[in-house]
Amino acid sequence: MKILWFIPTHGDSRYLGTAQGARVADHSYFKQVAIAADSLGYEGVLIPTGRSCEDPWTVAASLIDATRRLKFLIALRPGLITPSQYARIASTFDRLSGGRLLINLVTGGDAAELAGDGQFLPHAERYAHATEFLTIWREIMARSHTGEPLDFDGQHLKVEGARLLYPPVQNPHPPLFFGGSSPAAHELAAQQLNTYLTWGEPPAAVAEKVADLRQRAARYGRTLKFGIRLHVIVRETEEAAWGAAAELISHLDEATVARAQQTFARMDSEGQRRMAALHGGRYNPANVREGLEVAPNLWAGVGLVRGGAGTALVGNPEQVAARLREYADLGLEYFVLSGYPHLDEAYRFAELVFPLLPLELRDRLIQPKLTGPFGEIVANAHVPVTAPRAATPELARAAS
C-alpha cells in the first residue's frame, strides 16, 4: 500500500459550498501541506489540474526544495502542449527532483473547459489523440537514454527527428497514472498506462473495473497496477466521524447542490456520471447517512458539490483501515487521499490510521521511526505512555 495526500490548489475550507471557514490557498499554505505530508511519511501528493486550479507543474516545482522524499503526481494534459515539449518538462522535473515525478494523464471531461483551452475533439477522438500523444511522449522519453531521434506520422500528431537530450532519472520514463471509466479510457489504460486510478466507488464496482482492465491489458501482453482516489473523514469514534461529515456539508442548500449537479450533467465524463449516480443530487441535512452511505463507511456527500472524486471513507480509525484493506485485497496498491482542511487532516489521518496499516507499510513510514518522546512530558519528568487501542475485528484485520 502506498498512501498519497493532496495539495488543494483549487481552495481549501472546513465547509463545502461556502466561503465560510475558507483558507487562503497560497504558496505558503501549499508548502505547509507538502512539508506535513513529507514529514509524516506519505508516499507523495496529487496536485489537481483544470481552470479552477493553480498550474500544477509550477506549484510542484516550487515544492521540490521544501521536501525530501515526497513524490509529485502531476497532470499531463494532451493537446495543451506538444508531446515533445511535455517530455522536456517532465524530464527536467524528474532530474531536478531526483526522480520524484509521477505523471497523471488527464484527457478532460468538461466540454466548456476544453473549449476554453482550444480543444474541440469529441470524447472518442480525444482518446485517439491521447493514444498518439502518449505513443510519441513515451518513445521520446525512452529514446532519450540512447539518443535516437523519433519520427511519427499519425492521424492527429506528427513529429520528425524528435529528441530529448536530457533523459529523466526514472528509466524509461516516470510512471504514468490515469483514471477514466469509459470503454475507450479502459482501452487506453490497458495499452499504455502503468497505474489505473479509479474514483471511490463501492468495492464491487471497483472489482469489476479491475477485472475488465486486467483482461484488456492481458491482450496486449501487459499488466497494470491499480489505485483509488478517496476523501477521508476519520475521528476517534464512529459517531464523531459522521458528525464531522455532517458539519462538512452543513452550509449547503438545495440551490447550491442543484447548480453543481447541473454543471456536472453537461460533462461527457463517464466517471463524473458514475459519481453523480451514487447520490442523485439528493440528501437529507437531518441525516447525512441516508441515501449517501453507498457502501459501508463509503459516503457520497462530497460529490454533491465537488467535481471529480466525490466519495469519502467515514468512520473510526479501525473502520477506515479495514475499508482500505478491502480495496487493497482487490489488488489496489495506491491510495490517493484528502480531507478538509487538508493540512489538519493530513496529520489526523497519519496519527489515527497509519499505526493500523500493514506492517510492511508502517516500516517505511518516517513517523514511527522517530525517537520519543511522543507527546508532552508529564510534570517535567515523566514520558507519556501510548495506550493501545481496544481490540476490534477491524483492528485485527487491519494489522494482519
pLDDT single digits (tens) 127-140: 999 999 999 999 99
Residue 371 pLDDT level (bands cut at 50, 70, 90): low
Burial (CB < 10 A; 0-12, 13-18, 19+), residue 97, is: buried
pLDDT for 310 beyond 80: yes
Output the pLDDT for position 391: 47
Q: What is the C-alpha to C-alpha distance for residues 200 and 183, in angstroms, rounded to an integer? A: 18
* Alpha helices for the chain (secondary structure H): 27-40, 56-63, 83-97, 111-116, 123-143, 183-192, 203-219, 238-248, 254-265, 270-279, 317-329, 342-353, 359-362, 393-399
Output the pLDDT for position 380: 67
Under DSSP, is residue 391 helix (H, G, I), strand (E, B) or coil?
coil
Any idea what the Cα angle at residue 363 is, between residues 359 and 364, rounded to 5°? 125
Residue 398 pLDDT level (bands cut at 50, 70, 90): very low
Q: What is the C-alpha to C-alpha distance for residues 359 and 400, in angstroms, rounded to an integer? A: 8
Under DSSP, is residue 333 helix (H, G, I), strand (E, B) or coil?
strand
DSSP assignments along 150-196, one per residue: EEEE-SS-EEEEE--SS--SSSS-S-EEE---SHHHHHHHHHH-SEE
pLDDT for 399 beyond 50: no
Q: Please, which residues have CB within 8 angstroms of residue 1's CB and are 6 or more apart in sequence?
A: 324, 328, 333, 335, 357, 358, 361
- Could you tell me which of 16, 74, 87 has the C-alpha nearest to residue 46? 74
Q: What is the C-alpha to C-alpha distance for residues 299 and 315, in angstroms, rounded to an integer? A: 10
Residue 263 pLDDT level (bands cut at 50, 70, 90): confident
pLDDT single digits (tens) 169-183: 999 999 999 999 999
Q: Please, which residues have CB within 8 angstroms of residue 124's CB and are 6 or more apart in sequence?
A: 184
Q: Please, which residues have CB within 8 angstroms of residue 160's CB and are 6 or more apart in sequence?
A: 151
Output the pLDDT for position 122: 83
Under DSSP, is residue 68 helix (H, G, I), strand (E, B) or coil?
coil
pLDDT for 214 beyond 80: yes
pLDDT for 210 beyond 60: yes
- Residue 159, all three cell numbers: 513529429
- Could you tell me which of 188, 201, 264, 191 has the C-alpha nearest to residue 228? 201
pLDDT single digits (tens) 228-256: 999 999 999 999 999 999 999 999 998 99
Per the CB < 8 A criterion, the answer to whether 150 and 138 are in contact is: no
Output the pLDDT for position 393: 52
**Average pLDDT value over all residues in the chain:** 91
- For the chain, list the domains and their CATH numbers: 2-76+179-372 (3.20.20.30)
